[in-house]
Amino acid sequence: MRRMPLSAETAQKLAQHLKVPLEHLMHMPQHILLQKLADMAKAEAAANGEEAAKEQPNEK
């Protein structure tokens, strides 16, 4: 099985998000790695959505 082609920046962010060493991340099976990337993207999108909601005042 080939390794997942990740950029160095993405691999570091994912390792921090999962709280695992970078070496462990590089040996994860591809299907698990893809699922973890999706989870990280979803968490970042939620965090960005919360920040955007705080910046916009409620108009009624």
Kindly report, residue by residue over 1-34, the tens digit of the pLDDT.
566 678 889 889 889 989 999 989 888 888 999 9
SS3 5: coil
CA dihedral 25, 30, 34, 40 (to 10 degrees): -10
How much is the pTM? 0.68
pLDDT at 39 over 60: yes
- Answer whether residue 45 shows pLDDT above 60: yes
Res. 60: pLDDT tops 60: no
Task: Quote the pLDDT of residue 5.
Answer: 79
